[in-house]
Amino acid sequence: MTQFTTPIIEGSERTLPEATLRVEVVADFVCPYSYIGKRRLDHALTAVGGPADVSWYPFQLNPDMPAAGMPFEAYLKSRFGTRGAVQPILDSLAVEGAAEGIDFDFGRLEMVPNTTMAHQLMYLAGNEGLDQTVLAERLFAAYFERGRDIGDPGVLADIARSQGLDREHVFAAFADEKNRQYVQSRESQVRASGLTGVPGFLLNRRLLVVGAQSEETLVNAFDRAMFGEGNDSLPSPALN
């Protein structure tokens, strides 16, 4: 944990009831550690049981990814050289994910998508007053457990429909240049804040927890964010 006094997103302040824990999550939906971190955050929030306000901000592990994405095997080769070099990491992730109830199925992944539209969808959900965390779970599960291409607008519209968003409304949001630029601007602000890896959890605009940390670590961080200060650095693992 590191003490952190600069807001991730300027101008995103909103009034919350006293004693509410504010959690700002920075993640990407093709990051397996973000999925694990999300599940551990869920467990930690359930454990403490107090009021919490959770919001999500965009971060692309692969900002230069072509709009059409890249074949998964080609991506692994470009990043790690050989399948053999990365297989132990994938195996370890499968075990770590299983402990959180995640059924990582890397064998079903055909593409590594560009996640710009997925983040646009999250922004739309927030504007519509929908639970972004529920949508995030559906995006992670669709990609990592079912191998769906979450860079495909049709796939994203299907996922959004399960949360009550109209299909045509979703397509209109994807086509809105102002929407895309705003999401990109939010990501730029995240990067300018100094965050270089995901997941990241900014707590009460005071403490930044980086990485898929344990439930116990997160609960301890909640206490520090509400009542004290943190000063220990916790590095983030990353497959990116």
Instruction: Give 101-117 as a DSSP string.
Output: T----GGG--EE---HH
Q: Which CATH number fits the domain that encloses residue 188?
A: 3.40.30.10
174, part of any domain: yes
CA distance 6 to 205: 7
CA distance 164 to 130: 9
203, part of any domain: yes
232, part of any domain: no
Residues in the chain, pLDDT under 70: 1-18, 229-240
237, part of any domain: no
Domain carrying residue 81: 2-227
235, part of any domain: no
Average per-residue pLDDT for the chain? 89
**Token pair belonging to 79:** 């990043």
pTM of the prediction? 0.89
173, part of any domain: yes
205 conformational bin, left if phi > 0, alpha if psi -120 to 50, beta if neither: left
Taking only the tens place, the pLDDT of each residue in 200-218 is: 999 999 999 999 999 999 9
* Overall domain count for the chain: 1
Taking only the tens place, the pLDDT of each residue in 156-175 is: 999 999 999 999 999 999 99
56, part of any domain: yes
239, part of any domain: no
